[in-house]
Amino acid sequence: MDHFLYRDGVLHAEDVAIPEIAKAVGTPFYVYSSATLARHYRLFDEALEGLDHLVCYAMKANSNQAVLRLMASLGSGVDVVSGGEYLRAKAAGFPGDRIVFSGVGKTREEMRLALLGGIRQFNVESEPEMVVLSEVAVGLGMVAPITVRVNPDVDAKTHEKIATGKSENKFGIPIARSREVYALAARLPGLEVIGIDVHIGSQLTSLEPYEQAYLKVAELTETLRADGHTIRRLDLGGGLGIPYEQSNTAPPLPVEYGALVKRTLGHLDCEIEIEPGRLIAGNAGILVSEVIYVKSGEGRDFLILDAAMNDLVRPAMYGAHHDILPVIEPEAGTEQHPYDIVGPVCESGDTFTKNRAMPPVEAGALVAFRSAGAYGAVMASEYNTRPLIPEVLVHEHQFAVIRPRPTFDEIINRDTIPEWLEGSA
């Protein structure tokens, strides 16, 4: 469920009409619903009720400061994957003991930053990383709490670019080598082993891969405890999918996922961490764009929008689907027309979808891309010197710009001319 619905024939975000926002900020823009963000967080929190747990929002899905502040106010933890994300999390109000640091390539500088600023744990992914983290911690006179990310060699049955739990993926250490890796961690003076980390991929639409992975984690927990390690926390990652196509069968619900966690791991008396990102933010946002032209081609018609692949790269990168609908509700029974829906960037890849049936629209009409709250604005660029588009947050009848569109002067003036080129033009 989200809070983007037609009212009196006009698409609204909560209680705000989308054309009202478009008039105020221009198009294209992202708009997020506070109510949807909060609801999705609470669904996960409630799904794990009865277990000692912490829901850590995976902020790589949407790292706007206003979104992070909302999540922090709800009691969420946060999962970060860079020093920049760590600083964003701290600036938004997350205390160190609610920040988990993941990622395969943490630098010494990032490790030092998190240790000095406060950290719940590092999810380490290799022996070399362990050695470096221990050295950094010892140099600071500190001990770094860690979980080790194990790769369970489970096929998440998702897109190859967002699968992370198979043996050929770059993430984690092979589960078959976990005992020797944990033995190394226990010997390193700057580390405190506290648990196990596993994350098998993103946009999962079945619970079966989770069950396979979590049963392996349960067995590993018992094995490592028998070896003398303290395993008190299980970080289970995230990845539960969202319904990008409203007509398709919906992925499992958080309550079903929570029941699986309890069934497979609840007997271990461990604190459970989960790191949802897409399911919290994805359906909490839409991308709104204006039709520039309706163009007739050879055997096909094009909707040319003012949004482009630099604003929403998922279709170009993953072949991802987003439902696209007119902001003004079409009359019941309106005949659909097939369009190729494209942006103005000078790349053939700047195509959102081909042969998509939609109610006919004209130049100047507004359209909305659903399920665009995750991996939309955070992956945007200024390719073709197109400004990053505004982000807007709605709360009931109020809305605020939470990231403004930069001016062309601001973009151009970020570049500098070296002395030897001054006056050469």
Active site residues: 346
218, 268 contact by CB (below 8 A): yes
Q: Rounded CA gap, 415 and 256, in Å?
A: 50
What is the pairing mode between strands 337-342 and 351-358?
Answer: antiparallel
Structure tokens at 418: 């070296």
The residue written with tokens 């390719």 in the block is: 383
364, 378 contact by CB (below 8 A): no
What is the pairing mode between strands 29-33 and 285-296?
Answer: antiparallel
Q: Rounded CA gap, 224 and 217, in Å?
A: 10
Non-local (6+) Cβ contacts of 355 within 8 A are 300, 338, 339, 340
Report which residue type is found at 9: G
What is the pairing mode between strands 191-197 and 77-80?
Answer: unpaired
Q: How far is CA 422 from CA 10, 16, 88, 412, 418, in A?
A: 53, 50, 37, 16, 7
Q: Rounded CA gap, 42 and 253, in Å?
A: 12
345, 309 contact by CB (below 8 A): yes
Q: Rounded CA gap, 311 and 391, in Å?
A: 11
* Nearest to 30, CA basis, from 379, 422, 384: 379
Is residue 185 helix, strand or coil?
helix
What is the pairing mode between strands 29-33 and 16-17?
Answer: unpaired
The b/e string for 29-44 (b: 16+ C-beta within 10 A; e otherwise) is: bbbbbbbbbbbbbbbb
Is the dihedral angle over the CA atoms 250, 253, 257, 260 positive or is it negative? negative
| Cα 182 to chain centroid, rounded | 29
Structure tokens at 42: 């609470």
Q: Identify the DSSP state of 192.
A: E
271, 233 contact by CB (below 8 A): yes
Q: What end-to-end distance do the CA atoms of the chain give, in Å?
A: 56
